[in-house]
Chain A
Amino acid sequence: MPNPFKALRASLSMLMENVRMSVTNIAQNRLRSALTVLGILIGVTAVIALITTVSAVSNSITSSFASMGAGTLNLSVTGSDLKTGLSAEDLEALASLDCVDGVTPSVTLRARVSRGGEYETNISVAGRNPYWFTVNEDAVTRGRALNVLDMEGMNFVCLIDQDMIDTFFYGEDPLSKTLYLSGLSFTVAGTYDADSDSSVTGMMSGTPDILIPYTTALKLNSTNEVTSLTLYLAAGWDSASATEVLESTLDQMFSYEEDCYEIVTMDSLESTMESMTSMMAALLGGIASIALLVGGIGIMNMMLTSVTERTTEIGLKKALGAKPRQIQAQFLIESFILSVSGGIIGTLIGIAVSFGLCRAMGAGFTVSKGAIALGVGFSAAVGIIFGWAPARKASRLNPIDALRRM
């Protein structure tokens, strides 16, 4: 009379019995069990702490990138033999495309700045166009922005930041005063806030101390071609479709030569970033899982010792009717319980450690369900994998040999 419910009840009760016996045994060898659990605990803590921290940090970096770079594309030009960069006309042609709201070229140079007896070398100077000032409308703190006339006339005017004011105009009003950049005299048209640049290029290239017309900057660099610029997309365009339009225009400009330029979208930057951080997480996680491996070997060692010590118990249980797989289940459950309890505690500690690290680094912290699943799942797997051989050894003990020792 096979009754499925009765069979299910019996195997459930068998499971409960095994759990009960395992707990009794674990409690009996308290110190040894605690040390074994500690091995797993340390491994899981390391894995969880590292992976959670790395992913939290990378998340906050990526999201700040995304908010900064929304609606912009970066173009960097390597050029061909015929055409090494983009001229002012090219920039205008790009700016006049439907998909482009405006462009800001990025031209940088280093200059020796002097006034009266004061001088400083290696000051970072950037060329700007009027559109940059419309995008960064809060940049100018006093005086005026650079305008079209400054561009066309390649005027020797500049805006300076607080550092420059402090160095060269301490206690003075800098407006309309003269400042020498690499020996050339520039008139100070205004002052600006160095932290106002919200673009990714601005962030990545660092903030310059002095802004001059980009045409003037090109001239100082003895060129008239721009090789790096940011394109601001018109409303309603996404980076993918804008990239297509831009590519066809740029291909034409470079006479269909290959590899003359590269359009970097935020998406591609983000994905590069993400693959970098996930590689990092994998690497760190890999190193940390060596600790977990060591913990697993600890479990195996304890279980093997336990099997040897309990030979008589195993033989007796077999004599009383325990089937090999019931013996195996008992030992597997024991190593499973040891390992998973280490895994749960380790996950909690790992999350706490990660929380502390994120707070210290100022990165936003989120507990990922994945990390918890990983910690608990990993330890469960370790318990089963490393408990398998000892449990099998126990299940295969010959009851006669086991009882002969009595």
Chain B
Amino acid sequence: MRFERKPALSPTSPGSGNPFFSMVGIRKSYPLGDESLEVLHGISLTLEKGEYLSVLGPSGSGKSTLMNIIGCLDTATSGEYILNGQRIEDMDEDDLAHLRNREIGFIFPNSELLPRLDALRNVELPLIYAGVTGRERTRRAKDMLARVGLTERMHHYPGQLSGGQQQRVAIARALVTHPTLLLADEPTGALDQKTGRQVMELFQQLNDEGNTIIMITHDTKIARRARRTVYIVDGEISESEGGVDDA
């Protein structure tokens, strides 16, 4: 199954001026007393539609900080970031919320499902904020749960699901709005090896179907599953061609 993409807010297609994903000279500093601490020292990164990128780096190197900026949860102190043809700088909170809803599918290390909602309602959540209503919303959420093989567990609460199942619900939730970009921070961090491998296989399939994925990890074995790997060390990015199972 392939996901049709909604027309973007502004025209975009690789090569027609505005790139699909481009970061140029992204810096991020946090105020620390009277001074400020720079965590990202000018990150530049370009991505084609359909790419599968892993971001590797030691703890404290700035991976999560970068992910927050990519995920539009935060804005860079300076630099230029274009996602799906839209410039992210100087957007206000509402615009950023809209962008997160439409363009980004987040996958967190611990799934982060709402414990009081069943699997179906958890998957519906982003659609609620997208203004999708009624049967259409339920249908789309059900389709997506079927996609990750959880039709039977639709009405289970997170507490009644295994870690791997929870992570699959989280993946369904990330995919349900047909985002431009799947953004995963340590998606297998809380899983055992076998379940982790299953999730990685699912990622592989999603990528084969044309989804663009950025995965953050500090596990080189996991990173190797992506077609391309970049390293973040002390807030600097260094490119390195990876991908052993490049087909």
* Partner-binding segment picked from A7-15, A197-205, A243-251: A7-15
Question: A13-B133, A320-B101, A323-B98 given as contacts; is B108 within 8 A of A406 (CB)?
Answer: yes
In chain B, residues 10-64, which have Cβ atoms closer than 8 Å to a Cβ of chain A?
none
List of A residues within 8 angstroms of B128 by Cβ: 13-14, 17
A406–B177 Cα distance when bound, in Å, is 23
Residue in contact with A28 in the complex, picked from B93, B116, B129, B133, CB distance below 8 Å: B116
For chain B, give the interface size range: 20 to 34
Question: A406-B108, A406-B109 given as contacts; is B133 within 8 A of A321 (CB)?
Answer: no
Which of B94, B106, B133, B134 lies at the interface centre, i.e. has the most chain A CB atoms within 10 A of its CB? B133
Among residues of B, the one whose C-beta sits closest to the C-beta of A27 is: B116
Are the C-beta atoms of A406 and B97 separated by less than 8 Å?
no
A93 at the interface (CB under 8 A from B): no
Which of B106, B109, B134 lies at the interface centre, i.e. has the most chain A CB atoms within 10 A of its CB? B106
B85 at the interface (CB under 8 A from A): no
Interface size on A, residues (CB 8 A): 25
Residue in contact with A403 in the complex, picked from B98, B108, B131, CB distance below 8 Å: B108
List of A residues within 8 angstroms of B102 by Cβ: 321
Are the C-beta atoms of A399 and B73 separated by less than 8 Å?
yes
Residue in contact with B74 in the complex, picked from A320, A322, A400, CB distance below 8 Å: A400
Are the C-beta atoms of A319 and B73 separated by less than 8 Å?
yes
Kindly supply a per-residue 1/0 record for chain B positions 72-101, scoring 1 wherever the CB is within 8 Å of any chain A CB and 0 otherwise. 011000000000000000000110011011
Are the C-beta atoms of A318 and B131 separated by less than 8 Å?
no
Are the C-beta atoms of A400 and B68 separated by less than 8 Å?
yes
A317 at the interface (CB under 8 A from B): yes
Pairs across A and B, CB under 8 Å, 28 listed: A9-B133, A10-B131, A10-B133, A13-B128, A13-B134, A14-B128, A28-B116, A316-B108, A316-B114, A318-B73, A318-B97, A318-B100, A320-B101, A320-B125, A320-B126, A321-B97, A321-B98, A321-B100, A321-B101, A321-B126, A321-B130, A322-B97, A322-B129, A323-B98, A323-B129, A325-B94, A400-B74, A403-B112
**A interface, CB within 8 angstroms of B:** 9-10, 13-14, 17, 24-25, 28, 312-313, 316-326, 399-400, 403, 406
